[in-house]
Amino acid sequence: MYWISVITESAIFAILALGLDMVWGWCGDFDLAFYGYLALGSYMTMVLTIGKPTPPTEYILGLTLPYPLAIVVADVLVVALAAIIGAVALRNLREIYFAVTTLGAVSALYLIVEIYTPLFDGYNGLFGLINPGQSALNLTYNGYRQVFMVIVLVILALTYLVVQRLSKSPFGRMLRAVREDERAAAAYGRGIFFAKYRAYLFGAALAGLAGGLFAAYISAFNPSAWTPQELLVIYAAILVGGRGNPRGVIVGVFVVYIGFIELTRYLPSPASRPEFAPALRQVLIGLLIILMLRFRPAGIFAERSGGGRASRAEGPDPAVPDPAQPAGLGADS
């Protein structure tokens, strides 16, 4: 049961990470709003499925849509929010300015959700999405958790196939060119904003999908479930696995989530200090980021985008003559 839970959670975050990597890895934009997309996906999936609120709880909609349909509707709203944030943040802002703008956007969203209770019941949050479809599928509680894990893994596999195809395609290659040198990409006919915007919306859609799955996984969602620090773990995972490489991103998420949960489980934790393990986890993640940047900045799997094999060589092959040198050109006809 323990492993089913760990694998399901890792797989959900791997879907989020694949989306975030399209924005950070492929386009080079350090986005801090992404956990907000997962959160909105979760909240919306909840209010679309759990029915009318019973006072004193209050939230919008309160529908009882079928769970899969609710995920789709929720994701449409997530993409709509990303369309607004992206339209502002991606147009002219880059690097730290982009990061700060997205952080501002997600902070505003966080405060609205927390303070304006008629939306998602404020700090209490939503609950009640318990094993959607369990009775229809005629499963036991444990059986359902197993089936849910398999479904999440299948969705992750499908997501991976699509993202990998995009990564190796001319589309993915063009985004890397935009990341490397925007002016040169514009000089070769690429609309910079539109290119980044498309990747951003697609990435946000994956985050919203992950949010919909996450809602059913934890069956309750409130502001303490999506503090901005959570996103740093995802960034660490991408860094470990290999920024820009979808396979690496998935491996990175599983390594970081399972690795850290396991590590902190076996470490001695004083009973009088329950906050010790989570705090140590934060410290270890910081340490991991530093060590990866120092010793293997490309991650476990280096980026490989479309069109020909990417070189493994760190520098030019000394065996290849340099045609720009006079000696190499002398023989040129």
Partner 1 sequence: MNGEILRIENLSKSFGGVTAVRGCTFSVTQGTVLGLIGPNGAGKSTVVDLVSGFGRPDAGRITFAGTQITGRRPDAIARLGLIRTFQTPREWPRLTVLQNVLVARCAYSREALLRTIVRGRSIRRDELADQIKVMEILDRYQLADLRDIKAGDLSGGQKRLLEFARIAAADPSLVILDEPMGGVNPVLGTRIGEAVRQFADDGHTVIVVEHNLPFIERICDEVVVMDTGEVIAQGPFDSLRDNPRVVDAYLGMDQSHD
The least CB distance from residue 179 to partner 1, in Å, is 8
CB atoms within 10 A of CB 292: 18
Q: Is 318 in the site for partner 1 (CB under 8 A)?
A: no
131-134-136-140 Cα dihedral, nearest 10 degrees: -170
The least CB distance from residue 239 to partner 1, in Å, is 16
Token pair listed for 263: 């590590």
Q: Is 333 in the site for partner 1 (CB under 8 A)?
A: no
Q: Which of 176, 212, 242, 249 binds partner 1 (CB under 8 A)?
A: 176
Q: Which of 140, 313, 318, 333 binds partner 1 (CB under 8 A)?
A: 313
- Contact assessment for residue 253 and residue 241, using Cβ atoms and an 8 Å cutoff: yes
Sign of the alpha-carbon torsion through 22, 25, 26, 32: positive
Q: Coil, strand, or helix at residue 288? A: helix
Q: Which of 94, 145, 198, 247 binds partner 1 (CB under 8 A)?
A: 198
Q: How many helices (H) and strands (E) does the chain have?
A: 14, 2
Q: Is 183 in the site for partner 1 (CB under 8 A)?
A: yes
By beta-carbon proximity to partner 1, the closer residue of 97 and 194 is: 194
Total residues interacting with partner 1, rule: CB under 8 A: 48
By beta-carbon proximity to partner 1, the closer residue of 137 and 293 is: 293
Q: Which of 268, 309, 318, 333 binds partner 1 (CB under 8 A)?
A: 309
By beta-carbon proximity to partner 1, the closer residue of 42 and 305 is: 305
Of 72-80, 136-144, 249-257, 324-332, the window that binds partner 1 (rule: CB under 8 A) is 324-332
Of 61-69, 118-126, 205-213, 310-318, the window that binds partner 1 (rule: CB under 8 A) is 310-318
By beta-carbon proximity to partner 1, the closer residue of 162 and 300 is: 162
Q: Is 191 in the site for partner 1 (CB under 8 A)?
A: yes
The least CB distance from residue 331 to partner 1, in Å, is 10
Token pair listed for 90: 């991606």
∠ CA 329-332-333, rounded to 5°: 150
Q: Is 300 in the site for partner 1 (CB under 8 A)?
A: no
| Rounded Cα–Cα distance for residues 267 and 259 (Å) | 12
Q: Which of 55, 189, 268, 270 binds partner 1 (CB under 8 A)?
A: 189
Q: Is 296 in the site for partner 1 (CB under 8 A)?
A: no
The least CB distance from residue 255 to partner 1, in Å, is 24
- Contact assessment for residue 247 and residue 164, using Cβ atoms and an 8 Å cutoff: yes
50-55-60-62 Cα dihedral, nearest 10 degrees: 30
| Rounded Cα–Cα distance for residues 129 and 218 (Å) | 8
Token pair listed for 176: 């890397």
300 alpha carbon, distance to own chain's centre: 18
By beta-carbon proximity to partner 1, the closer residue of 35 and 301 is: 301
Of 72-80, 147-155, 177-185, 224-232, the window that binds partner 1 (rule: CB under 8 A) is 177-185
| Rounded Cα–Cα distance for residues 15 and 22 (Å) | 11
| Rounded Cα–Cα distance for residues 306 and 325 (Å) | 30
Sign of the alpha-carbon torsion through 12, 15, 16, 21: positive
127-166 residues in contact with partner 1 (CB under 8 A) are 162, 165-166
Token pair listed for 75: 């994701």
Which residues bind to partner 1, rule: CB under 8 A? 162, 165-166, 169-171, 173-174, 176-177, 180-181, 183-192, 195, 198, 202, 303, 305-311, 313-317, 320, 322-326, 328-330, 332
